[in-house]
Amino acid sequence: MVEFFNQMSKYGHEQVVFCHDKTSGLKAVIAIHNTILGPSLGGLRMWPYKNESEAVEDALRLSKGMTYKNAAAGLNIGGGKAVIIGDSKKDKSEALFRAFGQFVDSLGGRYITAEDVGTCVEDMEMIKLETDYVSGLPEKEGGGGDPSPYTAQGTFEGIKIAVKHRLKRDDLKGVKVAVQGLGHVGYYLCKYLSKKGAELIVCDIDEDRVKKIVKKYNATAVGINDIYGVNCDVFAPCALGAVINDETIDTLTCSIVAGASNNQLLDEIKHGEILKKKNILYAPDYIINSGGVINVYYEAINQYNKDKVSKKVDKIYNTLDEIFKSSKEANITTNEAAAKLSEDRINNISGIHNFYRKNK
């Protein structure tokens, strides 16, 4: 128990909820990191974690990332995340998601859930039967539907500005992009990149996905362990996190790391510094992949409009431009510059709250 509270202290969490329902087999963790800017918002991940400790660690890391992501995107919402321990291909059921929805509802709006790795809009529909604190619903129910296209759109914008900074180019024609992971986001990202003439190198654990992208976009397929060392300009991680680690970082030959997956650096400080020393420009993951949360945010506050969402997502280009410039001017890593941007906004709003509390 002491170790658990040390973990919470390390990441700065407000609340962590363990959820168990015997009937449905639900085992879940809801992590609320910070609610200074508003109720916490973050997706629900379903993954066959090796053990409960691994699930807790993932929920803690991901929810902190959501706080920084939401703050940097200029959203009036805090950071949270939930994980369900299970195999999304065989363990899903109506009872499972309705049980999870009851736990979400019991928090009274402190946490708003949405889809993430292993969950989809249909799962959100089942959660909706038990709580209103859910976003990412199908368009037929007035929701924004699958947020993946917007995550890919923002990642595409991030790659463009990264290419401009590092390669001094305003176009992507002939730029070699290695896309790791061809799920919904990876698929849409390949679509955007191919349309602008980028050369695609791809990998995925699902061979059918690889074959589809190779055929449709004339991509080159490589093995899942070979993607790191391929000759490319941009490495775009779009699968799970911690792919930039002690084993992989020395094999990178790219000039840019800019992808959609969360928590790409196993150790933000250590591996951020190594990328900087290797002169590899890193687009902080929670900045470049914030298109999806922007989409579900506008749905959550009942102001959903596709044009409004798209225009907000396009601004990821400008946010990263500011971060890259700040990083260069202050001679700090890009993830340090991104963290400062997020923390400054959180601290400023916190200061306003404290001022008005004292002067009531």
CA pair distance 187, 183, nearest whole angstrom = 6
- Decide if 349 contacts 71 (C-beta within 8 A): no
Which of 61, 82, 51, 58 is closest to 13 using CA atoms? 61
Give pLDDT tens digits for 71-102: 999 999 999 999 999 999 999 999 999 999 99
Give pLDDT tens digits for 50-71: 999 999 999 998 999 999 999 9
Give pLDDT tens digits for 169-219: 999 999 999 999 999 899 999 999 999 999 999 999 999 999 999 999 999
Task: CATH 3.40.50.720 in the chain: give the residue spans.
Answer: 148-290+317-343
CA pair distance 165, 48, nearest whole angstrom = 39
In this prediction, residue 352 carries a pLDDT of 59
CB atoms closer than 10 angstroms to residue 356: 9
For residue 41, give the 3-state DSSP assignment.
Answer: strand
Categorize the per-residue pLDDT at 350 as very low, low, confident or very high, splitting at 50, 70 and 90: confident
CATH homologous superfamily for 2-62+78-139?
Leucine Dehydrogenase, chain A, domain 1 (3.40.50.10860)
Q: Class assignment of domain 148-290+317-343?
A: alpha beta
Task: CATH 3.40.50.10860 in the chain: give the residue spans.
Answer: 2-62+78-139
How much is the pTM? Answer: 0.89
For residue 314, give the 3-state DSSP assignment.
Answer: helix
Categorize the per-residue pLDDT at 351 as very low, low, confident or very high, splitting at 50, 70 and 90: low
pLDDT of residue 356 exceeding 60, the answer is no
Catalytic residues: 81
Burial 317-326 (b: 16+ CB within 10 A, else e): bebbbebbeb
**Cα 315–chain centre separation:** 16
pLDDT above 70 coverage of the chain, percent: 96
